[in-house]
Structure 1
Amino acid sequence: MKIAKLLLAGALALAFNAHADNFPSKPIRLIIPFAPGGTTDIVGRIVADRLGKELGQPVIVENRSGGGGSVGAAVVAKAEPDGYTLGVSTISTHAVNAACNPNLNYNPQTDFAPITNLARTPNVLTVSLKFPAQDYKQFIDVVKKNPGKFSYASSGVCSVLHMMGEQFKVSTGTFITHIPYRGSGPAIIDLLGGQIEMMFDNLPSSMGHIQSGKIRAIAVAAPKRVEGLPNIPTFAELGLPQVNDPAWYGLVAPAKTPDDIVKKINAAAVKVLNMPDIRDKMKQNGAEPVGNTPAQHAAEIKYELDKAKAIVKRQNIKFENS
């Protein structure tokens, strides 16, 4: 009986290895959990075409937006764990949504197999030209002397940028009112017009307005100063390391996807991210290519989830189902 079980286990192992060696044998679907045109979509599409060429099968992009990325993430979580459905992970889909929404229909830590972090983008604190501060020292002085007088915009309740704003308040001991918008676009319009005093945003969508002098950058969340904004300090330089985390865009598969397939996709993705033209395209869109290990991306997800849970609890943030 034991011999029969051993023979069966050996046969299954051989069959599995043969399956992994033949992967992929058909097109791969890449779920991008946000609408076309945003940073998540841009990063995913930059990688998808070249990843398909590297793996020998097309990687077909499918945008499944809604619920702050939760609709698309759920599609990936519930797909067959065979490597033929992948998804772009973000801090929204794998941290903030779970921290804010107790009824989320997937678990960001147990329902996915992390593959790699594709890219990071800085976040930024900007102010209207009407705001009476030219730099961070003046900014924090004005805000602390006028608690509750000023408001900050974000792309919505329980968005990554809402979390950033609340983390800033906790870290600095300031009182600024949150004004949620339906996306960064409408918020930037009001910031440009001076209807809102300040905003937390992903840098790519604010960069053009900063460089044209229509809004003023105060600080960036990034490992080092941004190349196009050499005079703007990072939050870490200002003594606020908790606010200094950039946004990221990763690659995940459904949980229980075979390790050999995850490793194969990881190796191909890392190779693509190191190609000079891909790196140039990323940088042109305000992103920094990463390409780390599955374990490292899993650790990034856990870190952001724990951080978001702490902020939601500390600030008593309530999920709004819109």
Structure 2
Amino acid sequence: MGNKLKPENSNITTIMEFVLLGFSDIPNLQWILFGIFSVIYLTILMCNSVIILITRIDSTLHIPMYFFLNNFSFLEICYVTVTIPRMLMDILTQKGHISFIACATQMCFVLMFGGSECLLLTVMAYERYVAICNPLHYCLVMNHKVCVQLVTASWLSVVPVVIGQTWQIFSLPFCGSNTINHFFCDLPPIFKLACGDTFVNEIAVYAVAVVFIMVPFLLIGVSYGHIISNILKLSSARGRAKAFSTCSSHLTVVVLFYGTASITYLQPKPNQAEGTGKLISLFYTVLIPTLNPIIYTLRNKDIMVALRKLLTKLLT
């Protein structure tokens, strides 16, 4: 695979195109991987689309909890669409060439949707906190206007930060190798290709990761600390079980997503092996989005009841 390079007057070559290696190190499994990832992508699209559909058409689910879940499912579709189709095309063609602009765009959207997911998970935790710890004021606090504002803030607040950071990173000089040992343009492998001192840029990335990963995670932790404390005070065992069941799905998703994202973006660059980074990225970009709709449907009685009602209408 040849490098596409642009000659400069200073005899330094600047990269104009990258090559994503993806899973080219296991050529015998390319078609198997293509089949697996295709099924996974279609599953994510189908399951999240079903959640969006039933939370819209079933009037019993027109409450803040499912309004946020509806937006979360749409966000998941956007998130995986940035990486998986491109990965499937690279597996199919076995080339992996991606232009400088396309690489920057992909990374920008991955970070944007990932940051929005962190914030939306925090909003969902806040909604559960209000519902369990302050139920008498729930309708007042979580009115439709507030819900729309919280979702809008989750989607838009990361946009200027991510665009600014992407511009800063891709303004760095890239010379020498143009090979990215990854299946999409992510921060750690891009930094490894940059020439010169990237210390300031890495500190900026670390600071943003703290703001959009650690701070939301701490807020979620505080919320669930209060939630669990209030649940344990309930006298009814049935009430405790119901309260735990409405929170367990969200808490499971939080632990899975934040755990893998923290390892990738809060770990110092020299400590992250390329193979390990690729494997961890598979978890938070492919595996966890596949598990999320399953977790939210199988562990949620309201969703299952609505799904049965929908299937009954379609089959009769």
TM-score (ref. length: structure 2):
0.27
More strand by share: 1
TM-score (ref. length: structure 1):
0.27
